[in-house]
Amino acid sequence: MKRIISVFCLAFLFITTYTSCAPAAARYQYADTAMGTIMQFNLYAGSEDSANAFAETATDMLTQLEEELLSWRLETSEIYRINAVAGSGQATALSEKMVSILTECLDMWEASEGAFDITLGELTRLWQIDAVAAGEVEKGTYRVPSAEEIANALSHCGSDKLNMDSTGATIVVLADMQLDLGAVGKGVALDEISILLSNYPDITGAVISAGGSVLVYGTKPDSSSWNVGIVNPFDTSATIGTLTLEGSGWFVTTSGDYERYVEVDGVRYHHILDPATGYPVQNNVRAVTVLTKKGQTGDMLSTACYVLGVEEGMKLASKYNAEILFVLSDGSVKMSQGMEQYFHSNE
Ligand code: AMP
Ligand code: MG
């Protein structure tokens, strides 16, 4: 028996599905837009009340994360406040959470030799990445930035110009530039959701997806493995295969050139930028998926490894004990040895 109830809640679409798949925990599904992406919660819970309570709390928490910490557009956020005084010499006080997020981003900047860089805000705005994703750029009106504009924006980038004092919990941005945490937001959100889930003992299993990032948590009622599909970049309505995962607390994060892009005169301008050139990365990579035990690490790595390509990307992933899989532009798949035990191709 299957019952589907649809409820409109505060402009969000909450879809609740009940399936009597096991006596202990039933499955409830919710879909929502938050942080500029589609969030999907698949929860195995002992009661509909606890599933609803979790979904509402998680949605509020994501909104708060965006409003108070991560958004570069909202005046209420820490990132906005940091950006507003960049280059003035003025220090901005940071919350404990922001210190932790930024410390990890700076470590990744160093480890990736600059391929991952949260100071690309001038460039991401010039390329109108968020505006395109939000549908704010009318079809046919997109203008590719000039080489001069790109060089100018690039001169306002570089994590070497960030001066963070983690003891005093302040940051001084030494140059006139803009931070953009677009490459870590979803990972940070999934880390927070994972912590929140542990406060809901009635929710015994969950698959949470935020755009290209997925968290699997707990166990299924029938104790079977979790299967996470990997999108086929050549046909995004299909998958190339699945990752079969046992146990709890896995983060599967993908960065791909199909996620946010515009096409002008047959050229695809996508959202992952090469900090060395200021242009969308042009190598033989179409998508990168990483498997980690922490969301932020996975999110940073998928972006960094996209920029670095197979050889250097594999090395970086192994430094973080992550497994990695690349889909290349000739359709071939390259993966770390450890990934082979999880990946099952559709072919
Ligand atoms: P993701 O989808 O996680 O790979 O993140 C891509 C987003 O991060 C883009 O939309 C930009 O906002 C930002 N970004 C683009 N290129 C980089 C880069 N090389 N390093 C860090 N952030 C980037
Ligand atoms: Mg990322």
DSSP secondary structure letters along 110-163: HHTTTSS-TT-HHHHHHTTHHHHHTT-SPTT---PPPHHHHHHHHTT--GGGEE
Q: How far is the CA of 118 from the centre of ligand 2 (A)?
A: 11
289 lines ligand 1 (CB under 6 A): no
Kindly identify the ligand whose nearest atom is closest to the C-alpha of 35: 1
Q: Is 109 in the pocket of ligand 1 (CB under 6 A)?
A: no
For ligand 1, pick from 35, 120, 260, 292 the residue to mutate: most ligand atoms within 8 Å of CB.
Answer: 120
Distance of CA 49 to the CA centre of its chain: 29
Say if residue 107 is exposed, middle or buried (CB neighbours under 10 Å; 0-12, 13-18, 19+): middle
Identify the helix (H) or strand (E) that includes residue 6.
strand 2-9
Q: Is ligand 1 within 6 A of the CB of residue 323?
A: no
The confidence score (pLDDT) of residue 303 equals 98
Q: What is the pLDDT along the chain (347 residues), one digit of tens a residue?
A: 222 332 223 223 333 334 444 457 999 999 988 888 889 999 999 999 999 999 999 999 999 999 999 999 999 999 999 999 999 999 999 999 999 999 999 999 999 999 999 999 999 999 998 888 888 888 788 899 999 999 999 999 999 999 988 887 998 998 899 999 999 999 999 999 999 999 999 999 999 999 879 999 999 999 999 999 999 999 999 999 999 999 889 999 999 998 888 888 888 899 999 999 999 999 999 999 999 999 999 999 999 999 999 999 999 999 999 999 999 999 999 999 999 999 999 98
Spell out the residues 6+ positions from residue 135 whose beta carbon is closer than 8 angstroms to its own: none
Question: In whole angstroms, what is the distance from residue 87 CA to residue 162 CA?
Answer: 10
DSSP 8-state class, residue 181 = -
Using an 8 Å Cβ cutoff, are 208 and 40 in contact?
A: yes
Q: How much is the pLDDT for 17?
A: 39
CA of 299 to the centre of ligand 2 (A): 4
For residue 184, which atom of ligand 1 is closest to its CA? Answer: 3
Q: Measured between alpha carbons, how far is 326 from 115 in angstroms, rounded to an integer? A: 17
Ligand 1 touching residue 183 (CB < 6 A): yes
Separation of CA 151 and ligand 1 centre (Å):
18
Q: What per-residue confidence (pLDDT) applies to 212?
A: 78
Query: Distance from the CA of 50 to the center of ligand 2, in angstroms?
Result: 31
CA of 332 to the centre of ligand 1 (A): 24
Give distance in angstroms: CA of 3 to centre of ligand 2.
Answer: 36
Q: What is the pLDDT of residue 2?
A: 25
User: Which residue minimizes the CA distance to atom 5 of ligand 1?
Assistant: 183
* For the CA of 301, the nearest ligand: 2
Cβ–ligand 1 contact at 271 (below 6 Å): yes
To test the pocket of ligand 1, the residue of 271, 306, 316 to mutate (highest count of ligand atoms within 8 Å of its CB) is 271
Closest atom of ligand 1 relative to the 130 alpha carbon? 10
Q: Dig out the tokens for 165 from the structure.
A: 């004092």
Nearest CA to ligand 1 atom 2: 255
Name the helix (H) or strand (E) containing 105. Answer: helix 96-111
Long-range contacts formed by 160-168: CB under 8 A, 24+ apart: 161/119, 162/102, 162/106, 162/119, 164/94, 164/99, 164/102, 164/103, 164/106, 165/91, 166/99, 166/103
CA distance 239 to 225: 18
Task: Output the residue whose Cα is nearest ligand 1's atom 15.
Answer: 272
What is the C-alpha end-to-end distance of the chain, expressed in Å? 33
- Ligand 1: centre distance to CA 166 (Å): 24
Q: What is the distance between the alpha carbons of residues 208 and 187, in angstroms, rounded to a whole number?
A: 11
Say if ligand 1 is within 6 A of residue 117 CB: yes
Cβ–ligand 1 distance for 273 under 6 Å, the answer yes
Please state, as a whole number, how many other Cβ atoms lie within 10 Å of the Cβ of residue 293. Answer: 14
Cα(108) to centroid(ligand 2), Å: 11
pTM above 0.85, yes or no: yes
